[in-house]
Structure 1
Amino acid sequence: MVSASALLVLTSSIHVHGLFNALLAPLYAGSTVEFMPKFSVRGIWQRWRESYPQDQTKADDAVTVFTGVPTMYTRLIQGFEAMDPALQTASATAARQLRLMMCGSSALPLPVMQQWEAITGHVLLERYGMTEFVMAISNPLEGKRKGGTVGNPLPGVQAKIIAEDGSCDNVEVGELCIKSPSLFKEYWKLPEVTKQSFIDGGFFKTGDAARVDEDGYYVILGRTNADIMKVGGYKLSALEIEAVLLEHPTISECCVLGLPDKDYGEAVCAIIIPDSEIKRKREEELKPALTLEELSTWAKEKLAPYKIPTRLLLWESLPRNAMGKVNKKELKKQLADQV
């Protein structure tokens, strides 16, 4: 059975976001799922324009729902900014006609979410899930979607945050634990790993650090072993610092991680991918695209002193896997060996 709605799927089908949210659920609901051979910024914008021509008609095979990972939205924004004004108008108008746009697989930086809303009018729907329990927490389809958060537990799901010692009383930041009707039973032939992954009450330890904001929305701070840095006694979220750095006009992409430091335990290191046009102009002036001093001066107005990067690396690109994620754990290891 095929319904009137169509879904454009671009994420890998081996991940919960791609397999369950973008493929199986729409098929179960009777939707048409459209695949592209590979991710194409030009192809996606063109597909939306074909779906909603400027004469206000809607194509019979119009795409109505789109889902992607944060890196895709970053690339789509860059592609949009490179268009001439007339094509921008047609593209933005077409994108606004879609019923829903979602983002998953990794945390969506708030500046990217805000830029996308400014262009398309869509407040991206963010959720939180894992292979072990599929989806557990979500911003609402109808209601307030709060940037920088993944929303509230879905019906039937219980969530709590525990400290390193296992306590869960008055914990501001800790490991997120989930109990859900869809929670898996065990890891295949790995009884010890299974045992270590659960706490009393049947809650699964996700390995993600989180906190709950003033509105009760859950904020994912990153993987406890890769995104949480211990700097001079402070526990810092790399994802929160990345979101701020992305507001800098020179920074197109960035990755923040902690590197070994003899005085502070770890030092905040920022790997920056500069905006190509700004980089070109600075090179003509025989200057680097961005210096640590310039970044520090700018960041003083936006970050606490202990969160400001003390090391800066300028790269051409970030190493990403098929899901668009940077393997910070491996990257930290490689860079630590060079320190």
Structure 2
Amino acid sequence: MGSLTSDSHVHGLFNALLAPLYAGSVVEFLPKFSVRGVWQRWRESYPKDGSKTNNAITLFTGVPTMYSRLLQGYDAMDSDMQVSSAFAANKLRLMMCGSSALPYPVLKRWEEVTGHRLLERYGMTEFVMALSNPLHGNRKGGTVGKPLPRVEVKIIAEESGKDGAGIGELCVRSPSLFKEYWKQPKVTEESFIDGGFFKTGDTVTIDEDGYYVILGRTNADIMKVGGYKLSALDIESVLLEHPDILEVCVLGLPDKDYGEIVCAIVVPQEQAKKRAEQELKPVMTLEELHSWSLERLAPYKIPAKLILWDSLPRNAMGKVNKKEVKKLLVG
């Protein structure tokens, strides 16, 4: 079998490279992620006549941004190309997504186009993988599944500072957990709690089926608005359902009355930009976004500020760099 990857962090190194090689697979590298190249490689693997080439790709893994870009590429194809592309993608054995939270609208649309419900998991450099949706079984959108075998997890509730099953920081103990940060004893000591559990810095909750939901990085994605603790990722997932929004970054901006207010930095869809230019009006206004959000978000989650950008700054992993976004906005 063949595995195609263009991710180069823990998600790529362990899940997309070392694991396939250990299993005797062939891993095919892309020098640079290419939407056209990925779709073409899949179509070459599975021609329209229903055959399968000897070097066919059977597994693909990527980060959420890649799947969003692949969907954009799919939407730009003519109908015949869409049919052959969707047919080919459907023939792969497995598709995985990692490195950052996958917005539910992207998960849903990808499944509609290819028939694949992406396999989501959760891991970090410090312990590789800890949680995963099942390979065979119910893969719940918006969650990262349950603890893998021999992995122990617990939540430290911020309100009480004690173990809890509500909302709080995820802590992990597993056989693959690292020992220490090189020559940083103080940081190492602060990163562990009694019993050898590592503090991940991610805020999580557990749903009714015991699946873990990542609400975001405690210091970047959790906003405190008027007494409410809000997940930026949760709001972003809803806003991405808006037909005119291509990408969005939600973060909390300082506010003297509420502590923080919800701010949405939006990258509009190209067709929305063209339509706005023709009609000589803004692509989107805060009032329009507020009206659209009323039936989809609780009032305290609706953005109080809207900013339109052409693109969002990203790090080497392809994730939106929220620190850079906030720096550009508030210094």
Indicate the TM-score class for this superposition, using the shorter chain for normalisation. Answer: over 0.9
Write the letter of the residue equivalent to 2:234.
Answer: E
- Paired position in structure 2 for 1:60: 54
- Of 158, 161, 164, which residue of structure 1 is paired with 2:152? 158
CA offsets, 1:203-229, max 9 Å, x none? 100000000001100000110000000
* Counterpart contact for 1:225–1:329, Cα < 8 Å: no
Q: CA deviation at 1:241?
A: 0.1
Aligned to 2:292: 298
Q: What is the alpha-carbon distance in structure 2 between the residues aligned to residue 172 and residue 287 of structure 1?
A: 45
Q: How far apart in 2 are the matches of 1:330 and 1:181?
A: 35
1:146 counterpart residue number = 140
Give aligned-pair identity as a percent: 72
Q: Count how many residue pairs are aligned between Structure 1 and Structure 2.
A: 330
Rounded to whole Å, the distance in 2 between the matches of 1:73 and 1:186 is 34
The aligned residue for residue 168 of structure 1 is: 163
The equivalent of 1:254 in structure 2 is 248
1:9 aligned residue: 5
1:41 aligned onto 2:18: no
- The normalised TM-score by structure 1 is 0.96
In structure 1, give the amino acid aligned to 2:73. G
CA contact (8 A) 2:98 2:120 kept: yes
Displacement of 1:333:
2.9
Counterpart amino acid of residue 288 in structure 2:
E
Report the counterpart of residue 282 of structure 1 in structure 2: 276
Which whole-Å CA distance do the structure 2 matches of 1:179 and 1:86 have between them? 50
SS at 1:253 equivalent: strand
The whole-number CA distance in structure 2 between the counterparts of 1:22 and 1:159 is: 24
- 2:81 is paired with a residue whose SS is helix
Q: Which residue of 2 aligns with 1:273?
A: 267
- In 2, the alpha carbon distance for the partners of 1:37 and 1:177 equals 36
Give 2:113's aligned residue: 119
Displacement of 1:101? 0.1
Consecutive unaligned residues of structure 2, counting only runs of 5 or more, are none
Task: Please give the secondary structure, in 2, of the residue aligned with 1:54.
Answer: coil
The aligned residue for residue 238 of structure 1 is 232
Letter in 2 for 1:167: K
Give the partner amino acid of 1:89. Answer: V
Residue pair 2:313, 2:324 contacting (<8 A) in 1 also: no
- The DSSP-based 3-state class of the residue aligned with 2:57 is coil
2:302 equivalent to 1:308: yes
RMSD over aligned Cα, in angstroms? Answer: 0.8
Structure 2 length normalisation: TM-score? 0.98
Structure 1: runs of 5+ lacking an equivalent = none
Offset at 1:330?
Answer: 3.1
Letter of the 1:308 partner, please give it.
I
CA distance in 2 between partners of 1:227 and 1:136 (Å): 21
Could you say what secondary structure the match of 1:92 adopts? helix
Q: 2: distance between equivalents of 1:330 and 1:222?
A: 17
Output the CA distance in 2 between the equivalents of 1:139 and 1:103.
11
Whether the 8 Å CA contact 1:157–1:178 is kept in 2: the answer is yes
* Number of the residue aligned with 1:201: 195
